[in-house]
Amino acid sequence: MKNTSMYARYQPGTLIESGGGGLLSTLEDYSRFGHMLANGGEMDGVRILGRKTIELMSTNHLSPELLTYYNWDELKGYGYGLGVRTLIDPATGGSNSSLGEFGWMGLAGTWLMVDVKENLSAVYMQQMFPNLEGIHQPRLRNVIYGAC
């Protein structure tokens, strides 16, 4: 009998044609990845990603017209860089984080925040539907920055 559960697609040798959906990691590895980004692309003294690439990632690439469509409540004050949200207006976002702070959210509520200026990263993991990201993620960000 063929295993048709949703987890079967994560077995070795299975092809998944999705750029972001279905990525798997541990909290420890995801945190190390976030810190590598916050550290300008270096991890343990080894360059993993170029500093200029991270600058390009965290720069808004949406025109003013397109920004009107990027309008979820939890993304107020953010634009969109290369695959990441990026803070372009802290006052609009009600945020105490740095300009250029960036990251992304996962469908079930996982969250990554990276701030190269503060050498700061944070990872939040949950698996919940609805994910309530508009409620807890802005609060998490502001509590984290309030402690800096």
Domain boundaries along the sequence of the chain: 24-146
pLDDT at 1: 45
Could you read off the pLDDT of 40-54 as tens digits, one per residue?
A: 999 999 999 999 999
Instruction: Give the residue, 1 or 39, on which the prediction is more confident.
Output: 39
Query: Residue 44 in contact with residue 64, Cβ under 8 Å?
Result: no
Whether the per-residue pLDDT at 129 is higher than 80: the answer is: yes
User: Over pLDDT 90: what percentage of the chain?
Assistant: 53
Please, which residues bridge with residue 104 across strands?
112
Residue 5 pLDDT grade (very low, low, confident, very high; cuts 50, 70, 90): low
Measured CA to CA, the distance from residue 68 to residue 82 in angstroms comes to: 18
Residue 80 pLDDT grade (very low, low, confident, very high; cuts 50, 70, 90): very high
Please provide the average confidence, as pLDDT, over all residues in the chain: 86
Residue 88 pLDDT grade (very low, low, confident, very high; cuts 50, 70, 90): very high
Where are any strands of DSSP class E within 8-145?
42-43, 46-47, 78-80, 85-87, 102-105, 111-115, 120-124
Q: Domain 24-146 is classified in which CATH homologous superfamily? A: DD-peptidase/beta-lactamase superfamily (3.40.710.10)
